[in-house]
Amino acid sequence: MQEAPDAADLLATARAVVLEKLLPALPAEARLEARMVARALEVAARLIADRSVPRCPPGLAQAIRAGRCDGDAAVLEAIRADTLARLRVSNPRALEG
């Protein structure tokens, strides 16, 4: 069994330090990079917690190109579910509003 705190805790704690302590103390030209660091920690935390499974079988890309999936509602639903699952990890804020 791993030692606590776990990855999620460490990443969240580190992110809070970057945003609350480091960012205000940094010169203007370094702030964008500090925000990127905070963002990377946030995405990494969601990647670690992600339990979604791939919904699109290998070879689907070629099948779509060849027209074998035209109008196939089940394929569209699988693509939607797969994309949505990855979006929830990469940038869930895009789904707000």
Residues 47-76 that bind other proteins (CB under 8 A): 56, 58-61, 64-65, 67, 69-70, 75-76
Cis preceding linkage at 57, omega within 30: no
Give min distance, CB of 35 to other proteins, in A.
10
- 33 lines the binding site for other proteins (CB under 8 A): yes
Residues 3-32 that bind other proteins (CB under 8 A): none
- 24: DSSP letter: H
Length of the chain: 97
Give min distance, CB of 94 to other proteins, in A.
5
Buried b / exposed e over 15-27, threshold 16 CB at 10 Å, is: beebbeeeeeeee
Q: Tell me the two tokens of residue 48.
A: 């670690």
Is the CB of residue 13 less than 8 Å from the CB of residue 5?
Answer: yes
Residues that bind other proteins (CB under 8 A): 33, 36-37, 39-40, 43, 56, 58-61, 64-65, 67, 69-70, 75-76, 78-80, 82-84, 86-87, 89-91, 94
